[in-house]
Amino acid sequence: MTTDSMLKFVQTAKRMPAKRAADARRQDFDEIYDEFVTDHAAEQAGRCSQCGVPYCQVHCPLSNNIPDWLMLTAEGRLEEAYEVASATNNFPEICGRICPQDRLCEGNCVIEKGFESVTIGSVEKYITETAFENGWVKPVKPPRERDESIGVIGGGPAGLAAAEQLRKRGYQVHVYDRYDRMGGLLIYGIPNFKLEKDVVERRSALLADGGVVYHPNTDIGSTVTLEDLRGRHDAVLIATGVYKARDIKCPGVGLDGIYPALDYLTASNRKGLGDAVPAFDDGTLNAQGKRVVVIGGGDTAMDCVRTAVRQGAVSVTCLYRRDRANMPGSQREVANAEDEGVDFQWLSAPEAFVGDGRVDGVRCHRMRLGVPDATGRQAPQVVEDSSYTVDCDMAITALGFDPEDLPAMFGAKELEVSRWGTVRIDFRTMMTSLDGVFAAGDIVRGASLVVWAVRDGRDVADRIHDYLAAKAETASARSAA
C-alpha cells in the first residue's frame, strides 16, 4: 500500500456523487445520484483510515471486505477491487444503490465522529459499474457440472443469490417465480429512482448466461405443486419473500381510494417497464392530480411518497406515529423526500378514514412517546382531544408485510411455520420440516433488508451443498457395501 493513498479523512471532506436538483428529479424516475468520476472515487476511498477493527465490515450483513476494496480503489486497482467486493456479495451494484448505508456500514464507520464517514455505498456502486463497463463481470463457469438439481421458489435476491452460489459448485439450478420477470421486489417493489430496472435485468441475464434456468409465470400451488418440485429436484429452496400487506384497523378502511403500498408500487414499476397497467391508466393506482397520504415510516413508505411526487400529486403527506429519530426508514431517504416536497407529520397516526363511498380525508390524532416497549423503543401513546383531519384523495398504507399461508398455497400441510407465519427451519441446516426442502430470506426472518436476503441466500446454498454431499456419500457407501 502506498503511504500517500489512504488516511485522507483529516484533509479531505466527505463528498457524495453529485445529486440532481430536486426540481429536476421530481419530473422523472431516473436515479438521483450521478456516478463518481474516477478521481473523486479514489479521493473518497482514500479517506478510509484502514483501522484495525473495521466496524463498517462488522456491521455489514455480508461482512464485505470494505477496507480492502477501498484501498484498492484509492490505488486505482479497480479490477482487483471488484474481485474483492464480489467475493462476498452477489449483487454489489444493487447493494451499493439501495442498502441503508447510514444505518449499516457508513453509520458505523470509525471516523464518523467529527469527520463524517467514508462514502462506502457510492464507491461500491462505482467499482461494479466500472467492472461491467470493462467486461470484468463474467457469467459463472463451474469447474465441473454435477448431476444433482435444485429447484428455487422465488426469483428475488435470496433466491438468485443462492442460485448463483449453487451454480458455482456445478449444480443444475432452476428458479421458479410467479411473475414474468426475475428480481422480485427489486423489479416490482423498488422504484427506478433508487434502482433502475436495467441494473437488475443485467444481473439476472448474467445468471442465465451462467446456466441458471428460469421458469417465470409459475405459481407454486396452482401451476405446479411443491410435491411436483420435490419429485423433479434433489433439493428445493423456498425463497418467496413476504408480500402480504399488514392490515390497518380503523373505521372507514373499506372506502375506495385506500391501497396497499405494494399494489401501488407494482403498478408504477410495471408502467415504467412498458407493461399495460389498466389500474394505472384509469387513474386508480395513479397519484396524478391527487392529494396523497402515505401511512408508515419505513423505506417502503419513502418509496411511495417519492413515487407520488413524480406522478404529479397535488400534495404528498406522510403520517408516522413516532418522531423522526425513531423511524425505521433511512434518514437519507427522508431527507431526499423532504427536498422533493413531501410533508412529514411526525407523531401522528390515523384514527379513521372519512368520506362518502370514497376517501376524502384521514382523521388523525397526535401521539406522544411513552415508556420503552419490549424492543427498547418508546411506545407511542394517543394524546387525548388532539384529532385533526388531513385532506386526501388517495391513501396508501405502508405498514409492513407478513408471509402468506404457504402450507395452504403449496398444498403442503406438513410444512411447519412459526406463530408469525414464517417458515420454520432448523437454523443449523436451514432445512424445513420437509426433508430436502430448505428456506431462506424474508420468508424465514420476516420482512427485512435486501442485503440480509443475499446473506441468507449465500448461507443456504452452503447448507444445500452439505446436504447433497452427505446424501451422495451415503449412497456411495451403500452401493459399495
CA distance 422 to 404: 8
**pLDDT at residue number 476:** 81
Residue 316 DSSP SS3: strand
Distance linking the first and last C-alpha atoms of the chain: 57
Q: How confident is the model at residue 113, as a pLDDT?
A: 65
Give the model's pLDDT for residue 4.
63
Rounded Cα–Cα distance for residues 34 and 126 (Å): 10
How far apart, in whole angstroms, are the C-alpha atoms of residue 200 and residue 342? 28
Closest CA to 40 of 66, 19, 57, 18: 18
- Give the per-residue pLDDT at 10: 65
Q: Which three cell numbers stand for residue 407?
A: 402450507
* pLDDT one digit per residue (tens) for the chain, 481 residues: 444 667 677 677 788 888 899 999 999 999 998 877 778 889 889 999 888 889 999 999 999 999 999 999 999 999 999 999 999 999 999 999 999 998 899 999 887 666 688 899 999 999 999 999 999 999 999 999 999 999 999 999 999 999 999 999 999 999 999 999 999 999 999 999 999 999 999 999 999 999 999 999 999 999 899 999 999 999 999 999 999 999 899 999 999 999 999 999 999 999 999 999 999 999 999 999 999 999 999 999 999 999 999 999 999 999 999 999 988 888 889 999 999 999 999 999 999 999 999 999 999 999 999 988 887 888 899 999 999 999 999 999 999 999 999 999 999 999 999 999 999 999 999 999 999 999 999 999 999 999 999 999 999 999 999 999 999 888 888 888 7
DSSP three-state, residue 470: helix
Q: State the pLDDT at residue 62.
A: 97
The DSSP code sequence of 161-188 is HHHHHHHHTT-EEEEE-SSSSS-THHHH
pLDDT at 7: 67
Q: Rounded to whole angstroms, how far apart are CA atoms 334 and 343?
A: 10
The model carries a pTM of: 0.94
The pLDDT of residue 463: 98
Q: Residue 404: CB partners within 8 Å, gap ≥ 6?
A: 240, 242, 243, 244, 421
Q: Which domains does the chain have, with CATH numbers?
A: 22-133 (1.10.1060.10), 149-242+403-480 (3.50.50.60), 276-401 (3.50.50.60)
> Alpha-carbon distance 352 to 354, whole Å?
6
